[in-house]
Amino acid sequence: MTKKKWTIEAGSPHPLGATWDGHGVNFALHSSVAEKVELCIFDAKGKETRLALPKRSYNTWHGYVPGIGPGTSYGFRVHGPYDPERGLRCNPHKLLLDPYARAVVGEMVWTPAHYAYDMDGEVQDLAFDDSDNAAHTLKGQVIDERFDWGDDRRPCIPPSDTVFYEAHVKGLTQLHPGIPPELRGRYAALAHPVMLDYFKKLGVTSVELLPVHAFLDDQRLTEAGMRNYWGYNSIGFFAPELRYGPARQGGVQAWDGGAVVNEFKGMVKALHAAGIEVILDVVYNHTAEGNHLGPTLSFKGIDNSTYYRLMPDNPRMYLDHTGCGNTLNTHNPVVLRLILDSLRYWVEQMHVDGFRFDLASALGRGADAFDQRSAFFAAIHQDPVLSRVKLIAEPWDIGLGGYQVGGFPTGWMEWNGRYRDAVRSFWKTDAGTLGDFSSRLCGSSDLFQHDGRSPSDSVNIITVHDGFTLHDLVSYNDKHNEANGEDNRDGESHNRSWNCGVEGPTDDPDVLALRERQKRNLLATLFLSQGTPLLLAGDERGHTQQGNNNVYCQDNELAWIDWTPGERADALTDFVRRLIAFRREQPTVGRSAFFNGQPGPEGYKDVTWLDRDAQEMQPEKWNDPHTHVVAALLCGRHTGELDKAARPITGDSVLLLINASPENQTFTLPEHRTPGWTCHFDTARDGGEPAQRDWQVGDACEVGARSMVVFTQPFDNA
């Protein structure tokens, strides 16, 4: 049999990456330092054919290969200077992954050949290494991007109506008994009817997925027999991670990247049909290549000084605002274009509805400090596609001045770490927390009321993937991360957690009851606060990680959600469902306008803070560091919302009786518009169901120790 001899033509510099046109594939790669670029095509047995890209247009190398198509695996070899002291790290012995690869396939087997330097050299990264890594590294794969989207429509949930549900593709579905075993842990599992029904019944509007961009298992973890579970180690910004797609058939070269892409698209289509948005957690602040001693897998070998921020006075070293060894150089238009092209691809081709940006402060840095007017923000805001989707920042990085909660531009939502800290501290009765707690409950106007921003820009979090689960937050005083193999040094030590008297598992019924009550208190606060709530998947079921607050490497039952039916789990899930439904029905909660605390035309304030005697709180009580008892009256006359005719919407007034103290407290129900109050929740009771629903103004309501009682009263305009 005669071996096929490929030919290569000049092709086009646009678009970057590998593009199939039905007859062949155009390849384009940007490198300002390359002297020559070879396209490397691999057959089904892994045999490599090298073709020099024949044309250079400015700094884009390109070529067109007739007769190849979807399923073709490929990479690049970049010939150029290797001079780390000048920030140059080209090494043609290293097969490099295309930054624009639509599918990333193969098996990453860690070997010294992945490093561009001789690891036995006197000064490690200065000594050139000529071993070849092609047999053991990841490769790009050409795909057919066509997909039948049918009548797919984006749900387009307004921020004020949004309830985020942060979930891990595998962790959420791997143990679910209602999902066929062959689908568990996959994109297809999220599209299974049992999960769609669960999301709808729970009431969440937007599933926020932990990273699904192609990522690597760190060498250290692999050698320790573990995996990178969370996925914050990106290597491909256009390709969905293979491990959540259909398993390959055959040998190592038999991955079908196109099937993975289509399964992801099918998941999005199914979630949209159920009215659920898909939000991706994206990691554009760093890559998996690490620092100067890290591997050369893609960007380093293509154009190191373009893609990464290097030390100005020592370009051998990397600026690290991320704690991961490197920081992508968003100052460079090539890198900025890469990020924007990636984001647009996921919106236009994959139909996702928004993004949560990991360590987003790193993306918005100027020469060093964070800058609201940086090129990154300016480019997104003027983009006709990206400016219309949900943009959510994790508003911090590890660099100087990196904590920027409330500091992002208009159009961005932000994870509110100050909300998390204030709510946790208040319910564990730390001294002097009432003022901060009340500000967070009202939408954090001190942080967000500027430049036309709204309460919904505050994404209120109590627990997220990084840290204790809700169950562990009320069950452990200290982290227990021994399983991670780092002598319990990893993970946050200051968790503002309280174990309710016993560290970890217990059979004590009083401790167990108190823990369930504290969960209800924290969840009720989350869903009754102004701002946008985010629920960590599994918290509604009491998921535990046994005190491990950093399960980034625990791809096992410790991190996967247990769906075994249980009285406590089912009761907590139903409590969350009722809270979300209550929030959706009450325009007074989840307002799009901040409270002003001023009386309206009829004399009612939009929010009034009361003591136990139904009198307005006085400064001495606000300033008492031991005050943990307060009532908040949200007036239904002032919802801040308008109907389609631009008329003010009137809703129920909502009364929150809050007692974080360790003793029962008696509240007098205040006078308001009508004489009656209806009780909806009492967190002191199992399941949060109140013992008595109908109450009158002036009644004495006993609120149990460490609990909250919630009332409504219709605001009658007659």
Active site residues: 358, 394
Amino acid at 222: T
From the list 176, 93, 179, the residue with the least C-alpha distance to 130 is 93
Give 621's DSSP letter: H
Contact 70, 142 (CB under 8 A): yes
Residue 561 to residue 541: CA distance in whole angstroms:
9
Residue count (the chain): 718
- DSSP bridge pairs for 391: 355
Angstrom distance (rounded) from CA 696 to CA 671: 9
Q: Which residues pair with 609 in a beta bridge?
A: 632
Those residues whose C-beta lies under 8 Å from the C-beta of residue 151, and which sit 6 or more positions away, are none
**Taking the CA atoms of the chain, what radius of gyration do you get in angstroms?**
28
Quote the CA–CA distance of 613 and 290 in Å, as a whole number: 59
- Residue that is written with structure tokens 């219709």 in the block: 714
Burial of 550 (0-12, 13-18, 19+ CB in 10 A): buried
Buried b (16+ CB within 10 A) or exposed e, 422-432: bbbbbbbebee
Orientation angle between helical segments 375-382 and 333-348, nearest 10 degrees: 40
Is the separation of the CB atoms in 231 and 211 below 8 Å? yes
Name residue, tokens 């908040």: 632
Q: Tell me if 140 sits within 8 A of 75, measured CB to CB.
A: yes
Q: How far is CA 410 from the centre of its chain?
A: 20
Among 383, 328, 336, smallest CA distance to 359 is for 328
Of 459, 440, 244, 473, the C-alpha closest to 357 is 459
Cβ–Cβ under 8 Å, residues 263 and 186: yes
**Alpha-carbon gap, residue 377 to 331, rounded angstroms:** 11
DSSP state of 380: H
Q: How far apart are CA 320 and CA 335, in angstroms?
A: 16
Would you tell me the crossing angle of helices 509-528 and 567-585 to the nearest 10 degrees?
20
Q: Which of 403, 418, 397 is nearest to 460 (CA)?
A: 418
CA separation for the pair 105, 103 (Å, rounded): 6
User: Residue 580 belongs to what H/E stretch?
Assistant: helix 567-585
